[in-house]
Amino acid sequence: MTKILGISAFYHDSAAAITIDGKIVAAAQEERFSRKKHDPRYPYNAIEFVLNFAKIKLSEVDHIVFFEKPFLKFERLLETYVAMAPRGFLQFSKAMPTWLREKLFQKKMLFNLLKKHDKNFKEISKIFFSEHHLSHAASAFFPSPYEEAIVLTADGVGEWATTTVAIGKKNSLKIKKEIHFPHSLGLLYSAFTYYTGFKVNSGEYKLMGLAPYGEPKYVDLIEKNLIHIKEDGSFRLNQDYFNYTTGLSMTNEKFHNLFGQKPRDSKKDKITQFHMDIASSIQSVTEDIMIKICKSLRKEFNIPNLCLAGGVALNCVANGKILKEKIFEKIWIQPAAGDAGGSLGAALAFWYLELKKSREVTSKDAMSGSYLGPYFDNEEIKNKLNNLGAKFEILEDDALIEKTADDLSKGNAIGWFQGRMEFGPRALGGRSILGDPRSSSMQKNLNLKVKYRESFRPFAPSVLRDDVNEWFELNEDSPYMLLVADIKREKQNQMTEDEKKLFGIDKLNIKRSEIPAVTHVDYSARIQTVSRDTNKKYYDLINKFKDKTNCPVIVNTSFNVRGEPIVNTPEDAFNCFMGTELDNLVIGNCYLIKEYQNPALKKDYTKNFELD
Amino acid sequence: MDFVKEFWEFLKIRKKYWLLPIIIVLVIFGGLIVLSQGSAVAPFIYTIF
């Protein structure tokens, strides 16, 4: 048996994954263990978890693959500084000490860190380095259910590449073309994330959520000044407007003058219609580029399947538009499309490309529903809850589903902790907060009382796969919540003339459909389809909710508060439950009701995490 | 030593020999800064700058 450990680290979202004979056994992000969101440090805890889960020691691992090449990254940094000199000295002086001290000697550094897991680990020759975008592409193609596919990856930047096109066929994956730094779709989107006052590398999906409140008024301005887009979707950014190659911010004065405002300071400036229009404009430009790239690739390679990965592939609105355009017959998106997924891609790339092992393609993907993280059995959960002083009752599966569905239909907000934790940024019914989508106050309540986050942010629906087409303009699998589609017209409530005149966040108060809690202001929803064979318990719960309410849809949001990584252990779940206004916690077969808990266990939870 | 060998291989494959002088200078100055922290090399640094 060949065991391969994949690692991504030292930039953001560090993670570890393990494959045995090409089968994905376990994968997890470090942030879930360290409780520090987007933790970039060496993923000690995540590696410990994947090794323990696979029941092997590090010395028994055959190959260890890091997700990118540090030398190539260093080359890019040096060349950029030389090209830009003397501008960029500040960034240079900040970056070089870390590089010269440790990053350049990453192999040795990794070796020393790895030895901490197992003193018998002595072979530095087991450590290999993949390439950033090759790792993304491998994570998108090898687990996909396709024998042949076009693989498109796009993110901020890896070594040099920012956008890559590869062709995957059976067990081969060949990179065909690349767009190089500083021309980057991910960095363009991040520049606007920064400009609108959100945190770069984490606030991008807030910008995406804000977009439907605005009008794409600035598209022309962006396309005339900031970016030159060619017919095939390839692009060049005008560096006169950006500061990321040389400075310590994303945008410069010229950029701010172009739009007529300084970047929003999230500590004191409110989000205005201007920021919503900016969000709408950059979202529209991103979609335009992605669609153009996809159309030209479909024409050039004539392959009907598309695989996506890289941070830009988490832009589910753009993904939904690609699907709607019917450019490809099938689309598959890696659920851990960001850098965390690079760990998995690195391991898979080694198995198929370096060891040249054959690949069997099945009708379902190889991600096991992305439930690749830690698992706790009922006995463990019971003991942990007792230690925490929790009051709970233990129910059999049927009674548990019945009671949860019943409480959901009464409008309760429920913490749902079941089975293995998800790998990737989305909660998919393993570590989720659930609610009734029919309630018109649910979105506001969940945002303000449970998640403590901005009220404009939408929630996503989980819907039974068989019923998706009855409620949404979608008839595809979307198991990883990475596709956005509209609510079916017959389920929508059309706005009156007066309501249409409302601007921005005021639109949020209108009941827009039969399931308002998951209907964004433009009638769209980020859909997760749920099948019995990937998550039976979750499927049964939604099915029971449907029996009671005639609605096969529930609200599904990640089990955390703003700024907190998704809960990992029963302790994390209980703390979050006690620190927020969640009504119930269903953890394994244990059922907790808030009013029965000891009030002394309540904590001021919101201050524990830095807001993102 | 392995690092030097690997880095040389990298420069050869990438045909980026022109990076070498920059790296040497960076390493020398980097080394001097590290050594200068409370050591006998410190006065030598001050005479340069």
pLDDT at residue B42 tops 80: no
Same-domain status, A346 and A383: no
Same-domain status, A358 and A394: no
On whether residue B35 sits in a domain, the answer given is yes
CB contact under 8 A, B26 and A105: no
On whether residue B11 sits in a domain, the answer given is no
Range(s) of the domain holding residue B23 = 17-49
CB contact under 8 A, B19 and A107: no
Rounded to an integer, what distance in angstroms lies between the CA atom of residue A440 and that of residue A442?
6
On whether residue A147 sits in a domain, the answer given is no
On whether residue A593 sits in a domain, the answer given is yes
Lowest mean pLDDT among A22-31, A176-185, A201-210, A427-436: A201-210
The predicted structure's pLDDT at residue A576 = 94
Ranges A180-189, A243-252, A441-450, A603-612, most confident: A180-189
User: Average of pLDDT values for A97-117?
Assistant: 92
On whether residue B10 sits in a domain, the answer given is no
Same-domain status, A412 and A518: yes
Q: A483 by DSSP, 3-state: which?
A: strand
A-chain residue closest to B33, CA distance: A97
On whether residue B43 sits in a domain, the answer given is yes
Rounded to an integer, what distance in angstroms lies between the CA atom of residue A18 and that of residue A41?
18
Which B positions 3-42 lie with beta carbon below 8 A of chain A? 3, 6-7, 10, 14, 16, 19, 22-23, 26-27, 30
User: Average of pLDDT values for A189-203?
Assistant: 95
pLDDT band at A98, cuts 50/70/90? Answer: confident
CB contact under 8 A, A96 and B10: no
pLDDT band at A94, cuts 50/70/90? Answer: confident
The predicted structure's pLDDT at residue B45 = 53
CB contact under 8 A, A75 and B22: no
Give A464-515 pLDDT, tens digit per residue: 999 999 999 999 999 999 999 999 999 998 888 777 777 666 777 788 899 9
CB contact under 8 A, A96 and B19: no
CB contact under 8 A, B27 and A105: no
Which A positions 102-131 lie with beta carbon below 8 A of chain B? 104-105, 107-108, 124
| CA nearest to A336, candidates A429, A426, A424, A205 | A424
Instruction: Tell whether the torsion through CA atoms of A221, A222, A228 and A234 is positive or negative.
Output: negative
Domains contained in chain A, number = 3
Same-domain status, A582 and A453: yes
pLDDT band at A542, cuts 50/70/90? Answer: very high
DSSP state of A12: S
Same-domain status, A320 and A294: yes
DSSP state of A461: E
pLDDT at residue A417 tops 70: yes
Output b/e per residue, A475-506; b: 16+ Cβ within 10 A: eebbbbbbbbbbbbeebeeebeeeeeeeebbe
**For chain A, percent of residues with pLDDT exceeding 70:** 99
CB contact under 8 A, B30 and A96: yes
The predicted structure's pLDDT at residue A172 = 98
On whether residue A421 sits in a domain, the answer given is yes
> How far does the CA of residue A466 sit from the closest CA of chain B (Å)?
53
CB contact under 8 A, A75 and B23: no
Rounded to an integer, what distance in angstroms lies between the CA atom of residue A263 and that of residue A344?
36
> Per the structure block, which two tokens stand in for A478?
């979307």
Exposure of A324 in the CB half-sphere (CA atoms within 13 A): 17
> Per the structure block, which two tokens stand in for A145?
């259910």
A-chain residue closest to B15, CA distance: A75
Average per-residue pLDDT for chain A: 94
Same-domain status, A185 and A306: yes
**Residues from chain A contacting residue B30 (CB–CB below 8 Å):** 96-97, 100-101
Question: Chains A and B: how many Cβ contacts under 8 Å?
Answer: 29
Q: How far apart are the first and last CA of chain A?
A: 42
Same-domain status, A479 and A360: no
Test the B interface: residue of A78, A98, A124 with most B CBs within 10 Å: A78
In which element (H, E) is residue A529 found? strand A524-530
pLDDT at residue A82 tops 70: yes
Q: A193 by DSSP, 3-state: which?
A: helix
pLDDT band at A314, cuts 50/70/90? Answer: very high
The stretches of A352-509 forming alpha helices (DSSP H) are: 378-388, 397-409, 442-445, 468-471, 497-500
On whether residue A159 sits in a domain, the answer given is no
Interchain contact A354–B (C-beta under 8 A): no
A-chain residue closest to B24, CA distance: A100
Give A125-135 pLDDT, tens digit per residue: 999 999 999 99
Instruction: Tell whether the torsion through CA atoms of A82, A83, A87 and A88 is positive or negative.
Output: negative
> How far does the CA of residue A358 sit from the closest CA of chain B (Å)?
29
On whether residue B4 sits in a domain, the answer given is no
CB neighbour list of residue A155: distance below 8 Å, 6 or more residues apart: A133, A136, A162, A184, A186, A310, A311, A312, A338, A339
**Nearest CB to A96; choose among B3, B14, B26:** B26
| CA nearest to A204, candidates A71, A115, A289, A310 | A310
In which element (H, E) is residue A590 found? strand A590-593
CATH of the domain at A51: 3.30.420.40
Q: What region, left, alpha or beta, does residue A6 occupy, with left being phi > 0 and alpha being psi -120 to 50 degrees?
A: beta
On whether residue B2 sits in a domain, the answer given is no
Query: Of A346, A370, A394, at which residue does a domain stop?
Result: A370
Same-domain status, A282 and A350: no
Same-domain status, A444 and A584: yes
User: What would the 3-class secondary structure string for A270-313 be?
Assistant: CCCHHHHHHHHHHHHHHHHHHHHHHHHHHHHHCCCEEEEECHHH
Cβ pair A44, A116 in contact under 8 A:
yes
Give A345-359 pLDDT, tens digit per residue: 999 999 999 999 999
What is the CA angle A573-A576-A582, rounded to 5? 100
A-chain residue closest to B27, CA distance: A100
On whether residue A407 sits in a domain, the answer given is yes
> How far does the CA of residue B37 sit from the closest CA of chain A (Å)?
14
pLDDT at residue B36 tops 70: no
On whether residue A155 sits in a domain, the answer given is no
Domains contained in chain B, number = 1
Rounded to an integer, what distance in angstroms lies between the CA atom of residue A535 and that of residue A377?
16
Tokens 């065909």 belong to which residue? A176
**Residues from chain B contacting residue A105 (CB–CB below 8 Å):** 3
Interchain contact A75–B (C-beta under 8 A): yes
Q: Could you give the angle at which helices B19-36 and A70-84 cross, rounded to 10 degrees?
A: 100
Tokens 């692009």 belong to which residue? A235
Q: How far apart are the first and last CA of chain B?
A: 31
The predicted structure's pLDDT at residue A391 = 96
pLDDT at residue A548 tops 80: yes
Same-domain status, A343 and A278: no
CB contact under 8 A, A71 and B26: no
A-chain residue closest to B6, CA distance: A71
Rounded to an integer, what distance in angstroms lies between the CA atom of residue A25 and that of residue A39?
22
> How far does the CA of residue A84 sit from the closest CA of chain B (Å)?
15
On whether residue A163 sits in a domain, the answer given is no
CB contact under 8 A, B22 and A108: no
On whether residue A170 sits in a domain, the answer given is no
**Nearest CB to B10; choose among A71, A101, A105:** A71
Test the A interface: residue of B5, B17, B26, B35 with most A CBs within 10 Å: B26
**For chain A, percent of residues with pLDDT exceeding 90:** 86
User: Average of pLDDT values for A221-226?
Assistant: 97
On whether residue B42 sits in a domain, the answer given is yes
pLDDT at residue A241 tops 90: yes
**Nearest CB to B30; choose among A78, A82, A100:** A100
A314 CB burial (10 A radius; 0-12, 13-18, 19+): buried
Tokens 């950014």 belong to which residue? A237
Q: A66 by DSSP, 3-state: which?
A: strand
| CA nearest to A171, candidates A397, A316, A366 | A366
Whole-model pTM: value is 0.94
CB contact under 8 A, A100 and B26: yes
Question: Is ipTM beyond 0.90?
Answer: no
Same-domain status, A502 and A590: yes
pLDDT at residue A85 tops 90: no
The predicted structure's pLDDT at residue A563 = 87
**Nearest CB to B19; choose among A78, A107, A124:** A78
Range(s) of the domain holding residue A228 = 179-333
Instruction: Tell whether the torsion through CA atoms of A472, A477, A478 and A484 is positive or negative.
Output: negative
pLDDT at residue A344 tops 80: yes
Same-domain status, A219 and A359: no
On whether residue B45 sits in a domain, the answer given is yes
Long-range contacts of A396-399 (CB under 8 A, 24+ apart): A396/A589, A397/A537, A397/A540, A397/A589
Cβ pair A131, A72 in contact under 8 A:
yes
A-chain residue closest to B10, CA distance: A71
The predicted structure's pLDDT at residue A498 = 79
Q: What is the CA radius of gyration of chain A?
A: 24
Lowest mean pLDDT among A55-64, A94-103, A279-288, A539-548: A94-103
